[in-house]
Structures are given as C-alpha cells and as structure tokens.
Structure 1
Amino acid sequence: MPDASSPTAAALLADAQRVQRVALIALLAGAVGIAFSPIFVRLSELGPTATAFWRVAFAVPALAAWIRLEPRSTRSRPPSTRGDYLRLTAVGLFFAGDLAFWHWSIKFTSVANATLLANFAPIFVTLVAWLVFKERFSRTFVLGLALAIGGAVVLMGRSLHVSTDALFGDALGLITAMFYGGYILAVGKLRAEFSTATIMTWSGVVTAVALLPIAVVSGESLIASTASGWGVLLALALFSHAGGQSLIAYALAHLPAAFSSVSLLLQPAAAAVLAWVLLGEPLGPWQAVGAVVVLAGILLARRGSR
C-alpha cells in the first residue's frame, strides 16, 4: 500500500476531498430546497396532510424516471431481498412520521414552536450515533451543534411562546425531530448500498401510502380547486422533495449523518429569508442575528467533523 506521501495516495486524498466538497454543496443546496416547502405549504389550497401526500405522490414518477435514466455503469444494485425492502420501507415510514407529526403539532402549538422543535433532530442523530454506532465527536463539533441550535432558537425567539396548553403540541414537535433524525440515519446507512434515486423512489411510495389514509381520516380534501393550486403542489413535489430532499440523500453517502443534520439547520434560516422576500413577512434584527449564529455553528461543526 502506498504511503501518504506517494502520488497515488495524494491523488486519492484529493479525490476524497473533492467528493466531500461536492457533497457539502449538495447538502446546503438541499437545505435551501426544502426551505421552500413552508412557502409552498402556506400557498397550498389543501390541508397540511393532504399537501404532504401530494408532495411525495407527485415526486415518485419523476424519481422513478430518474432510476431508468441512470447510466448502467453508475447504477447501484436494485433491492432484491426481504431485508432490502424492509429497510427501504423504514425510511419511508420515518419520513411519513416526520411529516404527519409536524403537521399535527402545528394544530396544537404555534408554528414557531413546532418548527423549532422539529429542527432538534441533530440532537437525536448525535445521541444515536454516539450510543448505538459508537461514534465519537470532538468538543468543537458539540460546540458547533449547540451554537447552531441556539441560533435557531434566537431566529424564532420572537414567535415562540411557552404555555401549558401547548405542551401536547410541543411534544409532537419533539416526536417529529425523532422521526426526522431516524430518517437521516437510515438514509445515511442505505446510501452505502443503493443509489439516491432508488432510496427516494421506494421510500416515497411508502410515505405516500402511509400519508393517504391519514389525510382521508383527517377530513382534508385531496383535490385542489384551481390550476394554480395543483401548480403549487407540483412545485413542492419537484423542487422541495425530488430536488431538495434528493440532494440531501446524495450528500449523506459522503458526509457524517450527525454533521449533515446540523447543516440542515440552515433550513429555518433560509425559510425566514424566503418568507421575507416572497411573502412580505418581516425579518427583524434578532432573526438576522439568529441566522448568522446558525451559519457560524454549521461552520464550527464542519471544522469539528474533519
């Protein structure tokens, strides 16, 4: 085996660094992509669970076409065993739980509380990675994690409220974070075996099948009344899910799950900026400070992950 100073080893190291840079760009771009999802949900003519159903249902055909268009030389193996299908099903159920519990939490607590608590996923990802997978984290990474979460609290601080009447909704928000943490960890493990398109397609089918009866039971209409209403659902599916969520799944093959989950805290910061630009929702000085703190935390976690 060549030593670290040999040309071959240097070339391999350079390739690995290049792949990680591309993955980091994809991860952050994916976070921005899913930051558009609250905007689309706000504009949707349907209820939150019905909107979540169409988010994945409309994305599945595009993702399935992606599998067919992949060059054979770059395709990973297709799922073939019962274990393969069970693990892909688990990814879909984790994501269905994430969407369903987040939408339910909004009904029992404030949007700010629900969104903030849902973004506590990095805490659960880091704990599971440490306790179950025996990963070790530097003090720099832990400090970056704390800083990024603190920035998210500052970002939404003006809208947060503490009330005993909202405890149930707040608990649902934390459950949302657990489901999304499970989704990130599961995708990170499966990306070693399956392509991004394969994971997104199979998990998308499971998520849609799981969300459909929830939407029906909740009494929400599944039919948009205008063409623009269908256009919003299609944009949510293709841009935020097939686009943003797929970029995140791609990145999880090349970056640690714990760091990736911290980086996704860019989403609430980006969502606040987008709401200001597109919906006219004011962006106060404290929100700007919170966004900067989130970015600083991500950069610190990145340094602690090397």
Structure 2
Amino acid sequence: MKLTYFRNTPANFGDEINAFMWHNLVPPGFLDEDETELFLGIGSILWDHLPKSPIKHVMGSGFGGYTAPPDVHDGSWNVVWLRGPITAEKLGLDPSLAICDSAILLRATTLPPPLGGGRTVFMPHFESAARGSWQKVCALAGIDYLDPRGDCVELLSKIRGARLMITEAMHGAIVADALRVPWIPILPFFPQHRAKWEDWARSLAVTLSPATLPPSNLLETYTLFTGLPGKGQRSRAMFRSWPAAPVNKALVYRAALSLRRLAEKGAPQLSGDAEIDRATERSVEALDRFVRSRTAAPAAAGRKER
C-alpha cells in the first residue's frame, strides 16, 4: 500500500508532514511501494485524475476544487474519513465521515522538541514564498520567517516553540492549532487556495476571521489583482528587473508594517479544547480500525501516549 500525497519541488510543508507522520502511526512495513492500493494522506488530493484501478484509501484527505470532484462511488474508493464537511458534500458522502484534516494526528505522534523561545512566526503559502519577498518583510517586521519549502521537522519544532503563528499556508494553521499555538489566518493571495480553509475550520467548529496582508512585491501585486499565478519566467524577470526595484522596496516596507501591526493587534484564533480532543480521538479510532482490518493489530507503532 503506497503512501500518496502531493509532491512538489521544492518541498511543501503541509505535504511533507505525510512522510514524517504516517510511518510513526502504523506498523513497520504497513506502507510500501505497492501501487495496487493507495493510502491517501494529508492534503487536497481528492482529484479526478487519480489512477482508476488501485483501491484508494482516504485518510483525512480533502477536496480542494483543483479538479472536478472524483467519482468516489465507482467501487475503487474506501473513504475512512475526510477533512471536513465541504469535502463530504462535494463528493456526495455521509457528513459523519468529516472528522478533520489528518495532520491532527500529530497530536498522537512523538514530535521534535520546540525551538524559538516563544516568538511570533509567519509562514506564507509555498507559492507566495516563491513569488513574494516575505523573508525581507519578516526581517523588517522583527518576526521569524518560516519557509514552507524548508525541512519539515525543523518547521514543526519552530511552530511548537512559537508564541503566535501568522500563516497564509493552511497547514501552518492546522499544525499550530493541533499543537495549541494561537494562529492568525491570512487570506491567500491566489483565490483558488481559499475555499479549502473553510472545509477544515468547520470540522472543528471554528469561525474563520482571516486577515489580509498587502503584496510584498510587484509579482504578488499582479497575482492579487489578476487572480493569475504569474509563474512564467518572463513575468518574473519583468517584475524583478532593476526599474522595478524602488517599487518592490516600498512594497516590502508596507507589507512589513502591516505584518507587524497584525502581530501586535491581530485577533488570534484557536479551536476549542473539547473540539480538538474529540476530533483527535475520532481520527485515532478511524486509523486504528483501518489498520486492524488489515493487520489484526492496533496502529501503535511510534505513537506517544496521550
């Protein structure tokens, strides 16, 4: 059974949690390279272009609207649980399957020690990290920059050690919430990344109050006002050419002021303790039932005591 998730170059934090987490939660050898069965983990990966023939076991995955909804009633899907109620609705499935994003199982995993000494951290979406100038913005604002393309274990340590998480990356908020670090959601610059936040938030009875940040350079300004990703090399070169430098510098300064103001006066969010405990317990139970059905043994390998 092959662990399946979105793989990006460079890596993306939310997706790379899969490689860190699942092998600590299931018995050794449970996951392998056998592609006749797919273990769908963390991420908006319920796509309509997944291969038809393998059995697809859904473990807290979500539908993000990046493709048409897949036909999960064609006999090749085993939905163990889903990220949230919007995913269940879009796929025509029982809303009781909507437990939470499976990254919540970090709460049942042995984690790396905290780093950072209680500072405020900021994580952009991995596409914004590539397009924007957020490292410069954070340096000016006096806030620790978390690059979502960095090492997953180090990022987990820094989130654990943070006082406050400001994040455009949805899994920055999901992980912070799971680890009980208050977080402030930032409305993603690229509109297509916005709907999936509500799916996760509803699973934990969280009413999202996203803040906005101004773009950090001209390329992000283009993305914000056109709704286009601006991935082409020609557009990148134009927006980062020397004639654009003064404008880009001013945009970095404006974004830093906004980020600093948000860190000082923004309203952090956190799901309720009862909600997170209930969703964690249900996710653990769902995973255990699935593993027992395949191995006749509980999924206890590497799991910390709760």
TM bucket by the smaller chain?
A: under 0.3
The normalised TM-score by structure 2 is 0.20
Higher RCO structure, 1 or 2 (CA under 8 Å, sep 6+): 1
